Chains A and B, each alone.
Chain A
Amino acid sequence: MSLLRCTGVTKRFGGVAALSSVDLAVSEGEIVGLVGPNGSGKTTLLSTIAGSLPVSGGRVEFAGKDLTRTPPHQRAQAGIARTFQVPRPLGSFTVAENVATASMFGRHRTGRVEAIDRAHEVLEEVGLAAHAGAQVGALTLHERKFLEIARAIALDPQLILLDEVLGGLNPSEVAMGLDLISSLRDRGMAVVYIEHNVRAVSSIADRMYVLNQGRNLADGTPTDVLDDARVVEAYLGGPVDA
């Protein structure tokens, strides 16, 4: 049974349909890559899954429950975590406090002291332990991106939605990030991973979905999807001659 099942998800902003009847299914412990050209609706879909945006139509089911009308904080407590394309740390908190806040109000709602202990564990996992007491303003871009992941992990979710979490990083940082994302699957978490770097996402994804103009274009294994002529055309505007 799928952990997450989106059926016919539609999102309209006035007369503009950002998503038109999009389907998506994610199983436990699976990394699903979500790719598509700019403006294809990837982030909008993530927002409808996390509850940040209400859907205009369709259904979002998680762990067998209908969460279509559930507010975002309840989805977080149910086990859905998300990161943002542009890191949005809580600026007046330290790095550890940012992560502890997720632990405090996430799935297991830990106490303050326990949350700080958990934050230090998570920061160790993502390689930010040395910055635990630092203000977030002192972090570099890649550290901020990893802080987003750390905060998501601290919610102790079953599903993590990653929105271009490795965008703008150099190759060695991307490699570290891919290892980190793979380790989430090893711990049984499911991941929906949006990334413009198709090579990066296809290297770790079990399956991939492609969106184009707010609609499902293709899905399947990374190899099948990347060989799909419709996908090539959506990205490049036409088939590539060898």
Chain B
Amino acid sequence: MSVSSLALAQTLLNGALLGCLFGSIALGLSVKWGHLGVADFFHLSLTLLGAYLTYSLVTEQLWDPLLTLLVTVPVFFVVGVAVQWLFLVLRAEPFTTLLITFALFIVTESVASMVWSPDLLNLRPRLSDGFTTSLRFPEPLPQLAVQPVDLLALVCAVLMVGVSAWALRRTRAGRAVQAMRQDADIARTLGVRVVPITLAVSGLAASSAAVAGMVVSLRMPLSPTLPLQWIGIVVVATMLGGLGRPLGALVAAVVLMMIQNAWSLWFPPQWAPAVTFGVLFLFLAAQPVRRFVSEATASRRLA
């Protein structure tokens, strides 16, 4: 089957922009997993709740979708802090946090079904043309088009990932987070206030779910089972990008979605998720080789 270069370009573009949305979701998971040691499946549920809250505020209170962030971001920050505080009180081991967040993930799906119904809820018909009318690329590529919502996803992803990456590398708080991630006991003996930083990181990660949820509500019809559709791509992007590396997670999500979309041009689309996990499998299989080469290089340097 031949595919025109234009169709391929549009498909890759769509994949990249959808990848930005998944990269925004993966950001919070990557930060919590990488820096706090919490593989937080509840983060996906928070994203769904952010989407539903946006839907409710737009349809019932007639708020502008962007204004909903004034409510959801601080509320989710508090939720993120509360969840992490619970882990600290319970002195939860990583596996325990995994179980708890997975339980919350399941419970949230049921709660969303009860509160918002299991039916598909679509915000797009209620949005102004500014959100839904496709934009054409300027010359020389006028055949390519993007959705304004996808551009919003791009802007949100770049802003959130950029600020996170900058803060982690360039600020005192970021240095404290990195020290804590590597060895919390050592960080404490160096004067790092581990508990407040842990709570703040969790709160900020949850806030990012509010932003991603807002984009989700504009981008796709909502259903309580949506997180099950995202979980593969988000978890794989988080792992491929390197735990705790927001930029890596975004790049991985973009590349994976481009590959998935391109795959669907030639092969049955239902196999696309297998591509994602295939890439993860190859990545993991290559890790022992990478480690061997890295240790051999270090040994040569010491010799």
Contact = CB atoms under 8 A, between A and B. Distances in A.
B179, B190, B194: most-surrounded residue (chain A CB, <10 A): B190
Given A112-B172, A138-B301, A140-B302, A90 B179 contact: yes
Nearest to A82: B189
B171, B175, B178, B187: most-surrounded residue (chain A CB, <10 A): B175
Contacts of B178: 90, 92-93
B191 A105 contact: yes
Size category, A interface: 20 to 34
Contacts of B179: 90, 93, 101, 105
Given A91-B182, A112-B172, A138 B302 contact: yes
A97 B182 CA distance: 13
A92 B190 CA distance: 16
A90 B186 contact: yes
A52, A72, A77, A97: most-surrounded residue (chain B CB, <10 A): A72
Contacts of B194: 73
A13 B298 CA distance: 39
A52 B187 CA distance: 11
A138 B298 contact: yes
Interface in B176-192: 176, 178-179, 182-183, 185-192
A155 interface: yes
Size category, B interface: 20 to 34
B124 interface: no
B300 to A, nearest CB: 11
A71 B178 CA distance: 20
Given A91-B182, A105-B176, A52 B298 contact: no
B182 A72 contact: no
Interface in B190-219: 190-194
A110 B120 CA distance: 54
Contact of B186 (A77, A88, A137): A88
B191, B193, B302: most-surrounded residue (chain A CB, <10 A): B191
Interface string B281-303: 00000000000000000100110
A81 interface: yes
Contact of A52 (B176, B189, B192): B189
B297 to A, nearest CB: 10
Nearest to A105: B191
Interface of A: 50-52, 71-73, 76-77, 81-82, 84, 88, 90-93, 97, 101-102, 104-107, 109, 111-112, 137-138, 140, 151, 155
Q: Which 8 pairs between the two chains have the least Cβ-Cβ distance?
A: A105-B191, A76-B191, A72-B188, A90-B182, A102-B190, A73-B188, A106-B191, A77-B191
29 contacts: A50-B189, A71-B188, A72-B189, A73-B187, A73-B189, A76-B188, A76-B190, A76-B191, A81-B189, A84-B186, A88-B185, A92-B178, A93-B182, A97-B175, A101-B179, A101-B190, A101-B192, A102-B191, A105-B172, A105-B179, A107-B191, A109-B191, A111-B172, A112-B170, A112-B171, A112-B172, A137-B298, A138-B302, A155-B190
Interface of B: 170-172, 175-176, 178-179, 182-183, 185-194, 298, 301-302
Given A50-B189, A90-B178, 9 more contacts: A73-B192, A73-B193, A82-B189, A88-B183, A90-B179, A92-B182, A102-B190, A138-B302, A155-B190
